[in-house]
Amino acid sequence: MTEPAHQRALIRRYRWLLLAYPRWHRRWHGPDQLTLLLDMAGGGRRLTVRNQLGLVLDGLWCRVRVRGAAIALAAMVSLVAAGTLAAAAGWAAWRLAVAPWPTVEQAMRLAEPVVPRERPDDVNQRNVAFGPWGADADWLLMKVLGSPEVRPGGVYLSYWAVVTDPEAVYAQATEALAAQGWETSLVDGAVVAERDGLRLRVLCAGANLGRYDVIISVHPTPPVLAYRLAWFGAAVGVLLGWLAAAAAIARSRRTAPLRRVAMGLTATVGFIASAPAGALNLIAVAIADSDAGGAPPWAGYTIVLARPAAVVGGGLLVAAWLLTASGRWDGGGPLRVAGAGHHSPVD
Amino acid sequence: MQDPTFLVLTVLAGPPLHGYAIMQAIDELVGDTGVVRPGTLYAALDRLTADGLVEVAHADEWADGRVRRYYRLTPQGADALRAEAQRRRSLASIALRRLSTIPGYAPGPA
Can you tell me the ipTM of this complex?
Answer: 0.84
Cα-flanking dihedrals φ and ψ of residue A76, to 5°?
-65, -45
pLDDT value at residue A289: 64
Quickly state the pLDDT bin for A209 (edges 50, 70, 90): low
C-alpha span between A305 and A148 (Å, rounded): 9
pLDDT for res A334: 42
A59 in contact with chain B, both atoms CB, cutoff 8 A:
yes
**Cα of A343 to nearest chain B Cα, Å:** 5
**Chain B contact for A344, CB < 8 A?**
yes
pLDDT, mean over chain A: 83
Position A140 scores a pLDDT of 64
The pLDDT of residue B71: 95
Looking at per-residue confidence, does A250 or B109 come out higher?
A250
The answer to whether A10 faces chain B, any CB pair under 8 Å, is no
For chain A, percent of residues with pLDDT exceeding 90: 30
In sign, the C-alpha dihedral spanning A327, A332, A335, A337 is: positive
Question: Taking CB atoms and an 8 Å limit, are A342 and B33 in contact across chains?
Answer: no
At residue A118, does pLDDT exceed 70? yes
How many angstroms separate the CA atoms of A146 and A167, rounded? 36
What is the DSSP track for B72-98? Answer: EE-HHHHHHHHHHHHHHHHHHHHHHHH
Alpha-carbon separation of residue B35 from A18, A66, A85, B84 (angstroms): 20, 24, 42, 20
User: A137: which DSSP letter?
Assistant: G
pLDDT at A145 over 70: no
**pLDDT attached to residue A136:** 58
More confident position, A250 or A7:
A250
Strand blocks (E) in B2-84? 17-18, 54-61, 67-73
Q: Phi-psi category of A213—alpha, beta or left, where left has phi over 0 and alpha has psi -120 to 50?
A: beta
A80 touches chain B (CB under 8 A): no
- Cβ atoms of B62 and A345 closer than 8 Å: yes
Question: Is B40 an interface residue toward A (CB < 8 Å)?
Answer: yes
The whole-number average pLDDT for the span A123-143 is: 69
Stretches where chain B sits below pLDDT 50 are none
Number of H helices, E strands in chain A: 10, 6
Which residue of chain B comes nearest to A66, CA vs CA?
A: B47
Percent of chain A with pLDDT over 70: 85
| Residues on chain B touching A55 (C-beta within 8 angstroms) | 37-39
A11/B19 CB distance under 8 A: no
What is chain B's alpha carbon radius of gyration, rounded to the nearest angstrom?
17
pLDDT bracket for residue A340 (50, 70, 90)? very low
User: For the residues A129-137, what does the mean pLDDT come to?
Assistant: 63
| Averaged pLDDT, A221-245 | 93
Least confidently predicted of A35-39, A48-52, A327-331, B78-82: A327-331
Sorting pLDDT into bands at 50, 70 and 90, what band is A18? very high
